[in-house]
Chain A
Amino acid sequence: DAGVTQSPTHLIKTRGQHVTLRCSPISGHKSVSWYQQVLGQGPQFIFQYYEKEERGRGNFPDRFSARQFPNYSSELNVNALLLGDSALYLCASSLVAGPNQPQHFGDGTRLSIL
């Protein structure tokens, strides 16, 4: 079975642009979460979606938004890109959103802002 897949793997943008990152969860998983990981740090939670509804939001500005589709795939959108948005963006899926559910990660999208 395929794991969590993310596209694209790498992306280069300039300040002020907009970006859309995509994620397909493991088959059968209904919950998708997004994380930002900067060099030397652990992943920082951005959003969680379950059954197409937002279930959690981390401490990120409104320039960050996401959505989940009926097939449980998800998009992360970032507007008005800043240099500080350069990071590895990770998507994770779990069967459901709730206690005692490990999250399984994709390999991420490396976003570079010039």
Chain B
Amino acid sequence: DQQVKQNSPSLSVQEGRISILNCDYTNSMFDYFLWYKKYPAEGPTFLISISSIKDKNEDGRFTVFLNKSAKHLSLHIVPSQPGDSAVYFCAATSTGNQFYFGTGTSLTVIP
């Protein structure tokens, strides 16, 4: 049972424009959400996180939005750069012990 879903396997964006990656979850007990970026042959790299007590968290070009009522979070990258091309995973946890990951969205930023 996939508790965290990323329904878009891939996304292409022009350099300089906004990239929006989406994630849905089913478990209302999740209270901490994270985004990871993964390059080929490397492990996932932590990007940004958000606690359920917030609805927005920003770090430089990256902003994560959380809509608890819709059980939806999104990652905005502005402006997008070619180096942002990677697979992005969202993850969620309720206990901090077990993290549930989505299947990933492959982002391509076109120069």
Residues of chain A lying within 8 A (CB to CB) of residue B34 = 102-103
Q: Is A70 an interface residue, CB under 8 A from the partner? A: no
| Interface residue from B41, B97, B99 paired with A55 (Cβ < 8 Å) | B97
Output the least CB separation between B39 and chain A (Å): 10
In contact, B32 and A104 (Cβ under 8 angstroms)? no
**Complex CA–CA separation, A45 to B100 (angstroms):** 7
Within 8 A of B (CB), among A28-60: 33, 35, 40-45, 48, 55-56, 58
Count A-side interface residues using an 8 Å CB cutoff.
28
Distance between B99 CB and nearest chain A CB, rounded to angstroms: 6
Q: Which residues of B contact A55 (CB under 8 A)?
A: 97
Tell me if A99 and B45 are in contact (CB < 8 A): no
Collect the chain B residues with CB atoms within 8 Å of residue A100's CB: 32, 49, 51, 96
Q: Is the CB of B101 within 8 A of A90?
A: no
How far does the Cβ of A53 sit from chain B's closest Cβ, in whole Å? 11
Per-residue interface assignment for chain A, residues 83 to 110, with 1 indicating a CB less than 8 Å from any chain B CB and 0 otherwise: 0000000101010011111111111100
The answer to whether A42 and B41 touch across the interface, beta carbons within 8 angstroms, is no
A33–B43 touching, CB < 8 Å: no
A40 and B103 in contact, given A56-B97, A58-B98 (Cβ under 8 angstroms): yes
**Interface pair A102/B44, CB less than 8 Å apart:** no
Q: List 6 A-B contacts (CB under 8 A).
A: A45-B99, A48-B98, A99-B32, A99-B96, A100-B32, A102-B49
Interface on A for B, CB 8 Å cutoff? 4, 33, 35, 40-45, 48, 55-56, 58, 90, 92, 94, 97-108
